[in-house]
Structure 1
């Protein structure tokens, strides 16, 4: 007994568990003993064989009252405690079962060899209600032993009284609730659960040492551990060798066999619990569950899961029926390799008819025990397997089918088979298998939920990550996204590219802080905002400023780093702004050297109140820029400088293509961290590389047009002449028509600034028309009598692509035509 914990000289009193051996007796509806534990033999005397089937009143002469003797002042007298019912003897004899507790001084002749036949018994009687034969559960304890311990410790307790602790929390409550089924007689899972549920509803047994302290009684199982049993056998062997009588402790081992069996099964379940659920990976968890029971508990274990669980979908609804598809996801056995795999391969899906024990298990949610599979049953089961005869594998074996449940829904089931020469499954195995399946079901459900949430997050993130074309105006682009390798591996990393007026391209890489579904959703919102503001042609610093304001309005949890660059292939310039992100690497084409660009770091998006500054960098055709998130270069426990140095070195390595260059960088970083013993990358990674090819001056033609309708004809003429000079005469008719429509609209809506017309020859023929009107044109439906509204519809039909965007001075309308094959 633990009365308190000393800290700094002070003793803190708290309730302690009184661990004393418990006698467990079950009485049936006829008043006869149906279960008699070895603890009952030690307390009351009769052996199990003598007690089973006898009237309980003959074996439990407990009136619940103590005589008025010299010990009254110490013990007191109680016929029933707190009005919880009649005394036990009356309850037994009258077949009226009440929740009761009492105390009695007994004379047990069978215990006279111990030196004392007087026993001070404290007992509790729990009525059992239900269809089963059990009607009363009696727990008894030798309170004299506890009283002796209390006196030896000089606790000063004045009296000991029984009681029920209704809905009282105390240390050891979960242990008692979990172990009560183990000390009940072998019975079905439903019966065991029913009895335990009733006991817990009535309350736990307690001992009351004083008016204020109530100490819960938890079972002392009285089963020596294997080491203790081994030592006891050795002492018995030495006594036999010396011709001495066997120690009494060894003669009691037969009575402890049931407890030994219970402890061994408990050790097995604890061992299995430790081996399963080591990760939240559904596939790995399935294999762990199957391997945990073979060969110790069974020789063959096949695991089946519902279709929705395997697919990583939501929680399966409804009771399974004969159309429900069950996927065989794991198979473990002790037979020769290939014997089972050829007949019942993993991955197969099949329904089960109503007459099979499998259907019974999955519809009732209860274990199904088949002591031996008969030839008739083997034939019925084998009929489900087309062109494969499984009868030689299953006939004559003992089978136990246990459900894998979570939240009262059957996720799947396990088929457990034992070799014919092995002992059959029994009721205790059914209870053990049910407990095993319950634990496995919870683990599988955790893995299923994690897989489902991860799938949702990945789907969300994949839908939000852009599909960037490999070629933009004046640059080639390659990207990589790698999810993390630990829990919550889906994160908020993203990359993007946006087409801007003037043949420019915006390059973006960002990283929302955190992982999981929320981060992926935040990433989608911020990426959409960046695209929208980029379409307004905002300068990089102003764009980050606006993005920071937006993040603050969205909430305090919106924190992200971002790198935003605008590449002008005509001017040969990069305009870059940074918001707390790692700097990009620029690889020079002229000498192959790489460098980290020295940029103002800036604060992360969402901090607020911090200015952002842009830097303009001159670039040459063939230069490459590498932008990534910190998951690529940073590993916990390692200096980020190591990762950045490796990034610079690997980015400068020559590669056959842009994709190869990205793969080279990722492999180099993985090798670096692996050699450093950092355990590899654990965060997600976004990587964007762009080769800045530039646009040669001879591939660009620009004109300024006055605000005169006559300028439309001049625009057609200069376009015709330029295309002829570029050798693109086959595009003349389409280009002239489209340019005529755009210039006409621009001349009509411009205010004062001349209209600018630009042709750019690259992967496509790009045409842009700029004016100083800020109202973007829209595609309209023109009726037969309308004089306007057809221009953009003509553009949308003939052009490869077209669009509009705002500029600092007004707007730009553009279209692209596919170049003819040479």
Structure 2
């Protein structure tokens, strides 16, 4: 390293820029949190004689005498040190250090300079009157000394153009940043000014690629004026040629012809250049917009494509239906049509437009304005220069705001955004008064620009509309699962596939059954898209209908398979159907080619895949299904899902199922948290991001709480009229032991009496059974040995007038119970009703 330093000293001595007038050799280095150098400038190389390759990564205290700089993590510090072999030949070095403000790890910026150079350049004093050797940062202002004391008596200086340079009027220059950097938006200039003037660290590099604004003087509108100027320019030559002809020189005709050629050729070349420039502009705009089908991003691209090259202010307005993602707008717009201001790009100072015309505002446009004329005719409207009278006239049409200062004395062009001859919106383009007015060629260019932008916006609108239609269809087909049923708590998640559209055939459902039971269903229609979603809706409706018929799980899948074959050959789906009985604490499950469920045992907290007969998918036909009974315990959790959750790229599905068992066993504060944990963990295990899935994901989790024996009461009676009184008495006694309110006791006793009376009168069997179940609500079941279901008849007739008649009991039940129904059993039928219980 010493050899490298010696060689570098020799190079710096011969470097012509090392002592260039007006330059201050300032060393800049950055120290990371571990005390090592992460940045090493050319000035640091010259001052300390170490190359950048040797310095980066090396300990800072070995290269520079800046041990006191590490206090700059909390405040700025400064110090003086002696260097044995500084690059400048002097042994005294003055350094400043302060923390870098911003995101990321802690870093320290160190500035160092030869004290001899400071005195030579500054003449012993700083431009602000302070001594160069005192504790002042050359770019930031007064800092603390290495011992922690403040350098009193010094005012902070603006760091925009650091005072160690010899540039005059640096403060005024910093205030004119937008003028120094042409074609820069106010957003970028404000950010740069804040970084330099407020945060206190410099902008090292600014890279922008801009095209020269279109010249509005090109083209046909100025052709006559240019020809007149050219004729005036060649008039003296023509006069001299005429004098020569009179003198007999014979050269007048030739020079006149040359003058005419000189007159015509520049005009033609200029017009060709104008057309070529505008075509290039339109080509660039076409490439800049429409990079995605996101409506908001497309609108932003259209606005930024024209500022500042074509205009200085661009405001975009769209019809309400377009912004809402609805269908194609119907009918021409009028004074009641709402227009949403969706984007505003301008070159004015920040905040000038935001308060008067904020983005996101909705408003109708009055008649007799250029905006209304553009949106009703579908043609561009050109106002070469808005006079004060016209500006006030336009501003008078708008309530509670004065837009005249924003538009007066500016040139305005309003262009429609059309698609299929329907106006979707329009753009208001304004040029500053210092810029040339819009002309006829600008009108043509703006119309072509709007036509291309309108096509892109319409594509984005249609895509957004289709997404909304798909999401609405999917949401309408997915059930609204109740989070709690008797003895069972449920939580669900549905994540549509994003690679192949947001509509799929995965579904889940819960069906409340008599006897406090709950049916749990999950299925997956093969394929994607609207056809799969439509088929899913049909199968889901069929399952709900057959579930309330109290069919065994295997028989239900058998009927569902027959239905799929009748609907068509392409109807294939997998399905898992389970019935949970919280009183008996058991699950009855049948599987039709679906992913097996996971049962998390509350006793040991482990998850296991249930061993079920796989079966074949729905729609194959002529294959039997089998029902399996699985005993469970209160607190166990059942997890049912579709294969989109457990499929892993390049791996067997068994690995995904093993990961499902492990993630399902994780403890969670709630059911919703448990579902989120499973999805997040499976996404990590399968290396598939949540927003990049190929297939849909349906997840249904049920916590099997069970219903204890103390909450169930069952009695059996002879089918005789005298037993009705006993049923009423036992019902009242049991409800009283459960401490139910008197009103609930009276209502339940009356309904039990009515149902037992009906069973005694109309049943053909010898026994009637009554069962009361208390959970979140009160369920009552009356079973008999007659398979004929009861019929709810209309009231009327002599029997009803006397207080009797067929159907009276069911009418009372339908009037007083919250829910009621009937179902078949292997031995007969059951009529049930449910009563709400007070909370707590």
TM-score, scaled to structure 1:
0.65
SS state at 2:643 partner: coil
Q: Tell me, in whole angstroms, the C-alpha distance in 1 between the residues paired with 2:589 and 2:628.
A: 5
Please state whether the residue corresponding to 2:596 is helix, strand or coil.
coil
CA distance in 2, matches of 1:557, 1:262: 57
d(CA) in 2 for partners of 1:753, 1:271: 90
1:602 pairs with one of 600, 615, 631: 615
Shift in Å at residue 518 of structure 1? 4.0
2:738 is aligned with 1:726: yes
Q: Show CA shifts across 1:522-576 (max 9, x none).
A: 3322211110010111111221221122122223443333221111112221122
Is the CA contact (8 Å cut-off) linking 2:793 and 2:806 kept in structure 1?
A: no
1:612 partnered with 2:625: yes
Relative to structure 1, the CA distance from residue 820 to residue 356 in structure 2 (aligned partners, 3 Å threshold; closer, same or farther) is: closer
1:539 is the counterpart of 2:561: no
Q: CA deviation at 1:817?
A: 1.9
Partner of 1:739: 752
Seen in structure 2, the aligned counterparts of structure 1 residues 525 and 677 have a Cα distance that, compared at 3 Å, is closer
Number of the residue aligned with 2:812: 794
Structural mapping, 1:738-777, within 5 Å:
738-752=751-765, 754-777=767-790
CA distance in 1, matches of 2:276, 2:618: 58
Note the 1:73-152 alignment, pairs <5 A: none
Provide the residue aligned with 1:779 in structure 2: 792
Structure 1 gap segments, 5+ residues each: 1-184, 188-250
In structure 2, what is the equivalent of residue 713 of structure 1?
725
Alpha carbons of structure 1 residues 729 and 596: separation in structure 2 relative to 1, 3 Å: same
Change (3 A) 1:474 1:404: same
Higher mean alpha-carbon deviation, 793-802 vs 362-371, is at 793-802
Query: Does the Cα contact within 8 Å between 2:683 and 2:690 map onto a contact in 1?
Result: no
Cα shift readout 1:504-526 (whole Å, capped 9, x = no counterpart): 11001223344444443333222
Task: State whether structure 2 residue 482 is matched by structure 1 residue 456.
Answer: no
1:681 and 2:693 matched:
yes
- 1:682 deviation in Å? 5.0
Deviation at 1:585, TM superposition (A): 1.8
- Name which of 344, 348, 351 aligns with 1:335: 348
Distance in 1 between residues matched to 2:832 and 2:710, nearest whole Å: 20
**CA distance in structure 2 between the partners assigned to 1:474 and 1:704 by the alignment:** 24
The corresponding residue for 1:420 is 433
Shift in alpha-carbon separation, 1:259–1:512, aligned structure 2, 3 A:
farther
Could you tell me whether the CA contact under 8 Å between 1:635 and 1:678 is conserved in 2? no
Answer whether contact 2:378 2:423 (CA < 8 A) is retained: yes
Partners of 1:726 and 1:650 in 2: CA distance: 40
2:649 & 2:300 partners in 1: Cα distance?
Answer: 31
Does 1:656 pair with 2:674?
Answer: no
Structural mapping, 1:554-593, within 5 Å: 554-593=567-606
Please give the residue correspondences for 1:396-545 in structure 2 after superposition, counting only pairs within 5 Å. 396-486=409-499, 488-545=501-558
How far off is 1:676 after superposition?
Answer: 5.9
Specify the alignment match of 1:38 in structure 2: none
Q: 2 CA distance for matches of 1:472 and 1:466?
A: 15
- 2:637 is matched with 624
How far apart are the structure 2 equivalents of 1:256 and 1:772? Answer: 103
- Correspondence 1:388 to 2:401: yes
Secondary structure class of the residue paired with 1:545: helix
Distance 1:393 1:815, change over 3 A: same
1:372 pairs with one of 366, 381, 385: 385
Partner-residue secondary structure (3-state), 1:525: helix
1:47-72 Cα distance to aligned partner (Å, 9 max, x none):
xxxxxxxxxxxxxxxxxxxxxxxxxx
Q: What is the alpha-carbon distance in structure 2 between the residues aligned to residue 410 and residue 655 of structure 1?
A: 53
Match of 2:566 in 1: 553
Q: Distance in 1 between matches of 2:274 and 2:613?
A: 71
Q: Give per-residue Cα distances to partners, 1:317-367, cap 9 Å, x unaligned.
A: 111111111111122223333322222111111111221111111111112
Which one has a bigger Cα radius of gyration? 2
CA contact (8 A) 1:457 1:520 kept: no
Q: 1:808 to 1:432 in 2, by over 3 A?
A: farther
User: In structure 1, what is the Cα distance between the partners aligned to 2:411 and 2:286?
Assistant: 24
Question: What is the rounded CA distance, in whole Å, between the counterparts of 2:414 and 2:833 in structure 1?
Answer: 67
Question: Within 5 Å, which residues of 2 pair with 1:9-20?
Answer: none
**Residue 704 of structure 2 is aligned to residue 692 of structure 1:** yes
Give yes or no for the alignment of 1:815 onto 2:833. Answer: yes
Please say which of residues 501-510 and 764-773 is displaced more in the overlay: 764-773
Deviations 1:265-318 (A, max 9, x none): 334333333333333333333223223333333322211111222222222111
Distance in 1 between residues matched to 2:266 and 2:681, nearest whole Å = 65
Please state if 1:806 is matched with 2:824: yes
Deviations 1:165-204 (A, max 9, x none): xxxxxxxxxxxxxxxxxxxx979xxxxxxxxxxxxxxxxx
**1-side partners of 2:667 and 2:360: how far apart?**
44
**Structure 1 residue 695 displacement after superposition:** 1.5
SS at match of 1:353: coil
CA distance in 1, matches of 2:656, 2:594: 14
Deviation of 1:497 after TM superposition, in Å, equals: 0.8
RMSD, aligned CA:
2.8
Partner of 2:337: 324
CA contact (8 A) 1:560 1:604 kept: yes
Task: Give the TM-score normalised by the residue count of structure 2.
Answer: 0.64
Aligned residues: 574
Shift of the 608–348 alpha-carbon distance from structure 1 to 2, 3 Å rule, reads same
Preserved contact between residue 536 and residue 807 of structure 1 (Cα < 8 Å): no
Deviation at 1:612, TM superposition (A): 2.7
